[in-house]
Amino acid sequence: MSDDHDDSPIAAQVREFEAVLEARGLVDASELDRALEAFTHRATPANGFRVVARAWVDAEFRARLLDDANSTLPEVGLSMGGGLQPQVLHVVENTADVHNVVVCTLCSCYPIALLGPSPTWYKSTAYRSKVVSHPREVLEQFGLTLPDDTEIRVWDANAESRYMVLPRRPSGTDDLTEAELAERVTRNGLIGTAAV
C-alpha cells in the first residue's frame, strides 16, 4: 500500500480504495508499491524537456503536439497512460503576445510523467488561488516580468485534463542540437512560471 502521508480527502479515499482492493485479493500491496515506484522512477522533468526540444527543432512534430499531444507523445517514447483514468494532455504555446501558466485550483493535478513530482509551491493554496486572480503578480514573484501588453492565459488542470507549456525557444540557440536545447528547458518553464 502507498505510504504517502498526504492528509487530503482525496489521499484518504485513495488509501481506503487500496485497502479494499487488497482485502478482496484484487491487488497485492507489494505489487502496487513496485508499480508506483517504477512509474515515479520514469517520471522526470527531463521527459518534458525532450518534448519541448523536439518541438523547437521539428515544426511538424510541434504542430501535432499542439493539436493532439496524447497521440504525439509516443513519437518520443512517452504517453499519458498508466493512470486509473485517461488523461488528456493539452500543450499550450507561449508566443511573443501570449504567455501561458498552469494551475490546478482544486488540488494539484499535474502531468507527473512529463514534469516529475510537482513542486511544493504548485500545491500551495496561495499559488492555486492567486495565480488565477493576479497572474502577473504571481509571475513577478517568480522573477518573471512580462511586458504590459502580453496576454497571460491561466489554464486550470483537473482529473481529466493536464497542461504543459511549450515555452518560446531562446534566441541565439539556432546552432544547438536537440539534446543541447533540452538542457535549456526548466520545469518552471513547462508550468509557465519562468521563461526559458
Choosing from 79, 107, 118, 161, which is the catalytic residue? 107
Catalytic annotation present for 79: no
Choosing from 104, 118, 124, 161, which is the catalytic residue? 104
Choosing from 2, 8, 71, 109, which is the catalytic residue? 109
The C-alpha cell of 57 is what? 527543432
Catalytic annotation present for 161: no
Catalytic annotation present for 108: yes
Question: How far does CA 26 lie from the centroid of its chain?
Answer: 31
Catalytic annotation present for 107: yes
Question: How far does CA 2 lie from the centroid of its chain?
Answer: 22
Choosing from 8, 30, 108, 129, which is the catalytic residue? 108
How far is it, in rounded angstroms, from Cα 91 to Cα 40?
22
Q: Which are the catalytic amino acids?
A: 104, 107-109
